[in-house]
Amino acid sequence: MKHHIANPAATALLCAAATVIITGCSPDSTGAGAKSTSSAARTNHPFDTMTPEQIDNQAREAFESTTSMRLTGKASSDGRQVEVDLAMDVHGSCNGTVDNSLGPMHIIKKGSLVYVKAEEDFWRATFSRGMTTEQAEEMVALFKGRWIKPPTMMSKTLGRMCNGFHVFSEALSPVSDGNPTREDDATVGGRPVAVLAERTTTETTTLYIAKEGKPYLLRGTVAGGNEPVDLTFSDHNKPVDTTPPPPDQVLDPTKLR
């Protein structure tokens, strides 16, 4: 049985979309936000006559018509954890935060324009490579807590975390055989969902697919591996606010002497 979304390779791609800092994943299938309901409660819903693969295909088709969404949750890799809260669209625009061990970084991106704001630990780690300690601290003092319009190369690097839709499109390809099963229905954020699970010897990938409105994927988790992840998807087709910070709050490093 071909499985389009619920497999470890696809999950890794979903996590890559969330952040350029972390590239692997796997989440807790019993985390907060999803409440189980008995299978006996399923009544008169089109999903009830579908196979798990058909429900999975419904979620894929719903995504293909989506122009924007908000991604929130956690992922960890190599002992590092990242928390993400990022709205993004098909054009590569985004607005939100990515928080790793260096603290949160807020990013706003529209087209090639990127603005970021972070605290001193983030900038210290950035400038410690290639600068003396004194030079790095001077830059940290200038950058910390301020909106920055990064130089071209840094803008491209940071902007990659906003390319989620491209990564999701790749993840939706049938990359492996799977054996998904339908579990008891649940709720995510108060919305009823059908729950699909795919198990390997080490991991369980779980998908929560909306039963009301379009069958959007509302949550995805992978549990049991070494790199847990729990991602929630919301605000489908809601425009992303890409309003730039006020000019007097933006520092352009290229204009520094």
Q: Tens of pLDDT along the chain (257 residues)?
A: 333 444 433 344 334 433 333 332 333 333 445 665 555 455 578 998 999 989 988 988 898 889 999 989 987 766 778 888 999 999 999 999 988 877 889 999 998 899 999 988 888 888 888 788 998 898 899 888 899 998 888 888 888 888 877 676 655 544 345 678 899 999 999 999 999 998 888 888 888 999 999 999 999 888 887 777 888 999 999 999 999 999 989 988 877 75
Which residues touch 250 (CB under 8 Å, ≥6 apart)?
A: 115, 146, 147, 148, 149, 244
Residue 111 CB coordination number (10 Å): 10
Q: Is 153 within the bounds of a domain?
A: no
Q: Is 142 within the bounds of a domain?
A: no
Tracing tokens 């499985």 back to the chain, one arrives at 3
Number of domains in the chain: 1
Question: Could you give phi then psi for residue 3, rounded to 5 degrees?
Answer: -125, 125
Q: Is 172 within the bounds of a domain?
A: yes
Q: Is 55 within the bounds of a domain?
A: yes
- pLDDT at residue 37 in the model: 56
Show the CA angle centred on residue 84, arms to residues 150 and 169, nearest 5°. 90
- pLDDT at residue 29 in the model: 36
Distance CA 50, CA 22 (A): 35
Distance CA 210, CA 139 (A): 47
Tracing tokens 């603290």 back to the chain, one arrives at 103
- pLDDT at residue 27 in the model: 33
Q: Is 216 within the bounds of a domain?
A: yes
Q: Is 79 within the bounds of a domain?
A: yes
In angstroms, how far is CA 58 from the centroid of its own chain? 20
- pLDDT at residue 152 in the model: 85
In angstroms, how far is CA 230 from the centroid of its own chain? 9
- pLDDT at residue 9 in the model: 36
Q: Is 163 within the bounds of a domain?
A: yes
The domain spanning residue 101 has which CATH number? 2.50.20.20
Q: Which domain holds residue 249?
A: 2-111+159-255
- pLDDT at residue 171 in the model: 56
Q: Is 206 within the bounds of a domain?
A: yes
